[in-house]
Amino acid sequence: MTKQTHDVDHELIEAATHIARTRCRGDNHTMAAAARARDGRIVTAVNAYHFTGGPCAELVLLGAAAAQGAYELDTIVAVGDRDRGVVPPCGRCRQVLLDYFPSLRVIVGGGERLRTVAIAELLPESYVWAEHQLDAEEAERLGTS
């Protein structure tokens, strides 16, 4: 597996850090995420913690991006409140991000180790949902449409 490291989008980290500092309050909102759409826009969101699980900031961001018409995301980062810095996505978020945006880049690490990697690098030997779906022609041929 070839590791591809891309330039770190510091503006994206600053946007997520600003949201974490100004919008994350108490135990319900402890993480912020920021993503750059392919058209250059930055979309931000915070998590919605709940004892039943609640969505992570990265998943809330997917809905916020869609609501703003940003359907092509290029890079994403999550930042913790209380100046915790960049936090890597959890396993569930990694899988969802891979399924929605297979070419997405994710900022991970901290300090001198801050880097941008392909989402697929965070899930080696992963299950890619789109690769296991029948296309319309194949579904019709098999009589499953």
Beta bridge partners of 73: 37
Q: What element of type H or E holds 118?
A: strand 115-118
Choice among 14, 58, 112, 121 that is catalytic: 58
| CA angle, 118 then 66 then 144, to 5° | 80
Query: Is 11 tagged catalytic?
Result: no
Q: How far apart are the first and last CA of the chain?
A: 36
**What are the Cα distances from residue 66, in Å, to 23, 53, 72, 74, 92?**
21, 22, 9, 14, 19
Cβ neighbours, 10 Å, residue 38? 11
- Residues with a known catalytic role: 58
